[in-house]
Amino acid sequence: MKFLRNLLASILGFFIAIFLMFVFFIAIAALMGDSDEVVVKSNSVLELDLSNIVKDYAPKDKNAFVDALELNDEKLALNKILNAIDNAQLDDKIKGISLNTSGVSAGFAQTQAIRKKLNSFKESGKFIYAYNDVYSQKNYYLSSVADSVFINPVGQIDFSGLSSEILYYKDFEDKYGVKMEVIRHGKYKSAVEPYLESEMSEANREQITSFLSSIWSEITDGISKTRNIPVEKLNTIADNSEGRNAELAIKNKLVDAAIYQDEYDDKLTSATGDKFSTISIEDYIKSGKGKKTSEASDRIAVIYAQGQIIYGKGNEDEIGQGIINKAIKKAVKDKKVKAIVLRVNSPGGSALASELIWRELELAKKEKPLVVSMGNLAASGGYYIACNADLIVAEPTTITGSIGVFGALPNAYELSKDMGINAEQVSTNTSAQYSLFEPISKEFYDVTKEGVEQIYTTFVNRVATGRKLTFEQVDAVAQGRVWSGKEAIDKGLVDVLGGLEDAINNAAQLADVKDYKIKNYPNYKKEFKDVFGGFSPFAKVNKEEILKEALGNEQYRLYKEINQFKDLKGIQARMPYAIEIK
C-alpha cells in the first residue's frame, strides 16, 4: 500500500514538475516578446511584401500561451495594412514605399483596395518604387501603381489576361462507382456541376466569361491610368504575352528599366537622399502603426464574417452563427456603438446558419444602422447574410450574387456492388431514408427537392424584401448566377462601389456621427486543447503546409475541393465551386 502511495506521489510530482517547467518557459517567452519592441528609424522606406496570406481580419489570439510561444499563424490583416499605409503617409520617418513582393497572397478585391490606398499615398508627395525578378499578373497589377516599376534584366511579367480552371469529376465517378447525388435550384447553380457533367455547361461558361471580363476591365483600367498605356494596347500585350521578357516589357512601357537588386537599392538611396533603413509592413504594424487612434467616444462596429458558413460556433476561418451572432448582440448592446458594418468575405455554405445570422442582423438593424462591405467574395450564403442591410458596398472586383440552393450526398452504390457488398435496411416507419450504399429513391429525392425549393423561395424573398425588389426581379438575376461587384450594381444587388472605409463612412453618415473610433469584432480565443492538441507546444506543425509539400499545389487544391464536401451538412447556399482566377 505504501509502495502504491509513493508511486502515485512520484507520478503526480512528475506532472507537477512538467507543468511548472512549462509555465516557466511561457513566462520567459512572454518576457522576451515584450522586450522585442519595434522602432521606426528616421529616413526609412516601408517595404510592402504581400507573400504571406492576407485576410480581411487577422486578430491577435487572446490565448496567452499562443501569444507567448508565437504560435499565431503567419498572416496579414487587410485593415491593418490599409491603416499602416495611411499612417506612413503622415509619418515623417517614412520617406517612401518599396513594393518588392515575390507574390500577392490576396484576392483581387483586397489587392484593389491596397492599390487604391497606395494611389492615395502618392498624393503626399512621397515616392513608391516597385521591383521584382518576376511579376505575376496580380503582382504587376499592384506594382503598376508605383511611380517607377523595375524588373530584373532576365525577369519577366506574366500579363496574359484572366482565366479560371474547373475540374470535372463525372467520368471519375463513373469509373470508380462513387458519386455525389445532387438536388439543386438554379440553372447557374454550378457548385455541383462538376459532379454531374464531364464538361462545362453553356450557362456556366456564360457567367464565368461575364465576371472575368468585368474584373479584367478593372485591372486594365487601373494599369492604363497609372502607366499611361491605352486599354486596347494592354489587351494586345496580353494577347501576345509581350511582357515575357525584360526587353519586351520595357518596349511596351510595362516597366521603366531593367536593373539588378543592388541598382534598385541605389535608386532608393537617391530617392531618400541619404543612407536609408527599411522596415517591413509587418514590423511597421507591430510598432503600432496598424491602427488609427482617436479620442472619440462614439464607435462604429466592424464585424468580420470571413470563410465558408457552417452551422455551429465558427472560428477565425469559418463563419458560424455562434460567434457571429454573439458579436452582433455585443455591438447592439454597446451604447457607444452607433452603427454596424458587416464585412463579408465568404463563398456561402450552410443555408440554416445563413438564415440564423440573417435573423440576428434583422434584429440589429432595428436598433442601429447596418451597412455591408463586401470583400473578395460575398456569394450565395455570403449574400444571404448581406441582403437586409441598409446599404451594400462592394469592390468592383468583388464576386457576389449566386442566389441559389443545392443539396449533395455522396453515394457508393456502384462501388459497393462491384466489390460484392450488399446493404440491407430495417426501419420502423415508411418515411424516405437515404443510404450511402443504395441508389437514391424517388421518395427521398422528392422530399429533399421540396426542402431545396423552400429554402430557395425563402432566400429570394429575403433578398426581395432587403433590396426592395419583387420576387420576380430577384429571381431573374438569381438562379445561382454569379456577378462581379460592378455588374451587381446594375442588377440592384449592390448600392455603392467602394471598400471597407467607404462602408464605414456611409455607416457614420447614417448614424449622424462625425467623430468616431472603430471597434472590431469578433474576438477569437483558442482553447488549450486546440492550441496544443496533437503536437508539442514547442514545435510549430502546420498540417496544410505538410500536405502542400507532399501533394503539390494543384493536387492540394483538388484535395481541398473534394475534402470540403465531406463536411457539408444540410442544404447549402454556396458559391459555384472554388473559383481560382489566374
CA proximity to 390, closest of 350, 337, 355, 341: 341
Is residue 194 assigned to a domain? no
Q: Mean pLDDT in the chain?
A: 86
Claim to verify: residue 252 and residue 342 sit in the same structural domain: no
Considering the domain architecture, whether residues 280 and 307 belong to the same structural domain is answered as no
Question: Quick one: 75 and 106 in the same domain?
Answer: yes
Asked whether residue 568 is domain-assigned, the answer is yes
pLDDT tens by residue, 149-176: 999 999 999 999 999 888 898 999 889 8
Indicate the pairing of strand 370-379 with strand 391-394. Answer: parallel
Please, are residues 419 and 532 in contact by the beta-carbon 8 Å criterion? no
Q: Is residue 65 assigned to a domain?
A: yes
Calpha distance 122→125 (Å, rounded): 6
308 and 431 fall within a common domain: yes
Encode pLDDT of 292-339 as tens digits.
888 899 999 999 999 999 999 999 889 999 999 999 999 999 999 999
Give yes or no: residues 256 and 386 share one domain.
no
Flag whether pLDDT at 5 surpasses 90: no
At which of 233, 254, 289 does a domain end?
289
Q: Looking at residue 95, which CATH number applies to its domain?
A: 3.90.226.10
566 counts as catalytic: no
Q: How many domains would you assign to the chain?
A: 2
CB within 8 Å of 102: residues ≥ 6 apart: 49, 51, 132
Which residue type, as a one-letter code, is found at position 347? Answer: P
* pTM exceeding 0.75: yes
Show which of 255, 289, 323 is a domain's final residue: 289
Has residue 227 been placed in a domain?
no
327 and 364 in a single domain? The answer is: yes
Q: In the β-sheet with 572-574, what is the strand arrangement from edge to edge?
A: 179-185, 405-411, 572-574, 348-350, 308-310, 318-320
Q: Is residue 61 a part of any domain in this protein?
A: yes
**Domain final residue pick, 268, 289, 310:** 289
The answer, yes or no, to whether residue 35 has pLDDT greater than 60, is no
Neighbours of 88 (CB within 10 A): 26
Residue type present at position 28: I
Q: List the catalytic residue out of 189, 338, 368, 491.
A: 189
Residue-wise pLDDT tens digits, 160-216: 999 988 889 899 988 989 888 888 775 655 667 888 889 998 888 988 999 999 999
Decide if 7 is inside a domain.
Answer: no
Tens-place pLDDT, residues 63-120: 544 454 454 556 799 999 999 999 999 999 999 999 999 889 999 999 999 999 999 9
For residue 501, the enclosing domain spans 299-574
Who's near 302: CB < 8 A, 6+ residues apart?
A: 79, 341, 343, 500, 504, 518, 519, 520, 521
What is the C-alpha separation between 400 and 374, in angstroms, rounded? 8
Same-domain pairing of 445 and 516: yes
* Catalytically annotated residue among 44, 380, 416, 484: 380
Do 176 and 562 touch, CB atoms closer than 8 A? no
Please report the pLDDT score of residue 408 as a whole number.
Answer: 80
Q: Are residues 501 and 371 in the same domain?
A: yes
202 belongs to a structural domain = no
Span 237-283, pLDDT tens digits: 999 999 999 999 999 999 999 999 999 999 999 999 989 999 999 99
Residue 82 lies in a domain: yes
Q: Is 380 a catalytic residue?
A: yes
- Using the predicted structure, report yes or no on whether residue 24 has a pLDDT greater than 80: no
Q: Say yes or no: 273 and 403 in one domain.
A: no
142 and 253, same domain (yes or no): yes
- Please tell me whether residues 561 and 431 are part of one structural domain: yes
- Above 60 in pLDDT, residue 1? no
272 & 384 share domain: no
